[in-house]
């Protein structure tokens, strides 16, 4: 195949690849696959257009495209709590031209039998890039000023407090059940088809509480909802006055990091090229800005460390599945 790229562009690609390779501690010859990439790369985002993941991943793809000297085209394939798009990516030809976001929830859904993917056998890992800010919110008219008030009420009224989430066995559902277990309370879960309808449910009073990523930010800032606690390791930038669950005495941390990967069987040189490019992209101003807009923490890990993190997460999820009886909950629908 004839290479028609202008000399200046090819030289720019080599320089960018060389710099990124040095940053990863890789020999340049291994970090830049010969001739790759020769055409645009497809990036599968397993979430709807316009959502928080879509916005941050688009910024990341733009920055990675600059580092690679090729366009990284984002394609939304939403459904099945992110598993539809992930399965499509995992089944693609492992030539480096189809990659995408890996929802960390695959560590849970794969063990529940909801998706025929083994995260440690069917995927190649490029980078972990950022986390999410999850919070528990209620209407400002609710009687609970903080989680202490909520727990006291729930203990006196077991099963009467309802909460909405983006679906059964997702990060928000599991996070809320972890909190309930730590607090010694019983809550009634009402699953919705995504965070948007769950947000509307708490605004309308259909449910008492919502647990979700930063979809509630505008409503909290407008005084329509009250943020009772966040589930990260540290307080959020936008809501520094609101303590985390851990600070309030509940040892629960949920940040659901976003990662980038591809199908298993990719050429090691191609994978190294992508690792180098996405390391540059993860520290780019536009990606940092996009994450800042939704209060999402930067959580970069290079591919090998990201794969180790996923293996550890698989073990953690195995215990959660058993303790929270998630198989039984899914069977009930």
pLDDT at 33: 64
Pick 202 or 132 by higher pLDDT. 202
299 falls in which pLDDT band (50, 70, 90)? very high
pLDDT score of 119 more than 80: yes
Q: What is the pLDDT of residues 146-172, one digit of tens each?
A: 999 999 999 999 989 999 998 888 888
Residues forming beta bridges with residue 249, ordered by sequence position: none
pLDDT at 167: 80
3 falls in which pLDDT band (50, 70, 90)? very low
Q: What is the pLDDT of residues 190-230, one digit of tens each?
A: 988 778 889 999 999 999 999 998 889 999 999 999 999 99
Question: Per-residue pLDDT averaged across 286-301, rounded?
Answer: 92
* CA proximity to 195, closest of 207, 186, 180: 207
CA separation (Å) from 114 to 5, 307, 323, 330?
44, 21, 18, 9
What percentage of residues in the chain have a pLDDT greater than 70? 90
CA distance 125 to 122: 10
In sequence order, the 6+-apart residues with CB closer than 8 A to the CB of 310 are: 102, 104, 107, 119, 120, 125, 259
pLDDT score of 118 more than 70: yes
pLDDT at 256: 87
Task: Label each residue of 198-215 as H, E or C.
Answer: HHHHHHHCCCCEEEECHH
pLDDT at 196: 82
What percentage of residues in the chain have a pLDDT greater than 90? 67
Low-confidence winner among 6-20, 58-72, 182-196, 281-295 (lowest mean pLDDT): 6-20
253 falls in which pLDDT band (50, 70, 90)? very high
* CA proximity to 301, closest of 257, 268, 265, 271: 257
Percentages (nearest 5) of helix, strand, coil residues in the chain? 45, 20, 35
Rg of the Cα atoms in the chain: 21
* CA proximity to 182, closest of 214, 138, 150, 145: 150
User: What is the average pLDDT value for the chain, to the nearest integer?
Assistant: 88
Question: Is residue 112 within 8 Å of 321, Cβ to Cβ?
Answer: yes
pLDDT score of 124 more than 50: yes
Pick 214 or 73 by higher pLDDT. 73
Question: Is residue 126 within 8 Å of 275, Cβ to Cβ?
Answer: yes
pLDDT at 23: 46
Count Cα neighbours of 228 within 13 Å in the Cβ-side half-sphere.
Answer: 24
Sheet bearing 98-103, strands edge to edge: 72-76, 41-45, 98-103, 258-263, 123-130, 298-302
Q: Helix (H, G, I), strand (E, B), or coil: what is residue 164?
A: strand
pLDDT at 308: 97
* CA proximity to 69, closest of 27, 30, 17: 17
Question: Is residue 124 within 8 Å of 168, Cβ to Cβ?
Answer: no
Model's pTM, two decimal places? 0.79
Domains defined for the chain, CATH in brackets: 7-132+256-322 (3.40.190.150), 135-254 (3.40.190.10)
86 falls in which pLDDT band (50, 70, 90)? very high
């Amino acid at each position: 195949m004839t290479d028609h790229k202008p000399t200046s562009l090819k030289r720019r690609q080599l320089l960018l690849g060389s710099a990124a390779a040095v940053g990863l501690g890789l020999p340049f010859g291994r970090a830049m696959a010969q001739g790759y990439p020769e055409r645009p790369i497809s990036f599968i985002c397993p979430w709807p257009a316009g959502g928080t993941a879509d916005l941050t991943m688009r910024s990341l793809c733009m920055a990675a495209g600059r580092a690679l000297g090729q366009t990284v085209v984002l394609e939304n394939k939403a459904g099945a709590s992110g598993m539809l798009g992930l399965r499509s990516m995992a089944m693609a030809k492992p030539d480096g031209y189809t990659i995408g976001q890996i929802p960390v929830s695959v560590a849970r859904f794969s063990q529940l039998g909801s998706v025929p993917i083994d995260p440690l056998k069917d995927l190649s890992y490029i980078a972990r890039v950022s986390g999410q800010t999850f919070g528990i919110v209620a209407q400002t008219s609710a009687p609970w000023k903080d989680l202490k008030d909520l727990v006291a009420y729930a203990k006196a009224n077991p099963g009467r407090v309802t909460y909405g989430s983006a679906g059964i066995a997702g990060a928000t559902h599991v996070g809320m059940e972890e909190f309930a277990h730590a607090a010694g309370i019983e809550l009634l879960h009402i699953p919705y088809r995504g965070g948007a309808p769950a947000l509307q449910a708490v605004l309308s009073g259909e449910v008492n509480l919502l647990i979700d990523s930063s979809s509630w930010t505008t409503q909290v800032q407008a005084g329509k909802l009250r943020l009772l606690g966040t589930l990260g390791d540290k307080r959020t930038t936008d809501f520094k006055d609101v303590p985390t669950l851990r600070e309030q005495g509940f040892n629960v941390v949920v940040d659901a990091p976003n990662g980038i990967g591809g199908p298993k069987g990719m050429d090691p040189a191609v994978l190294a090229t992508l690792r180098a490019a996405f390391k540059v992209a993860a520290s780019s101003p536009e990606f940092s800005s996009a994450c800042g807009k939704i209060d999402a923490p930067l959580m970069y890990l290079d591919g090998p460390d990201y794969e180790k993190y996923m293996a550890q997460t698989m073990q953690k999820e195995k215990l959660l599945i058993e303790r929270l009886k998630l198989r039984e909950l899914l069977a009930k629908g």
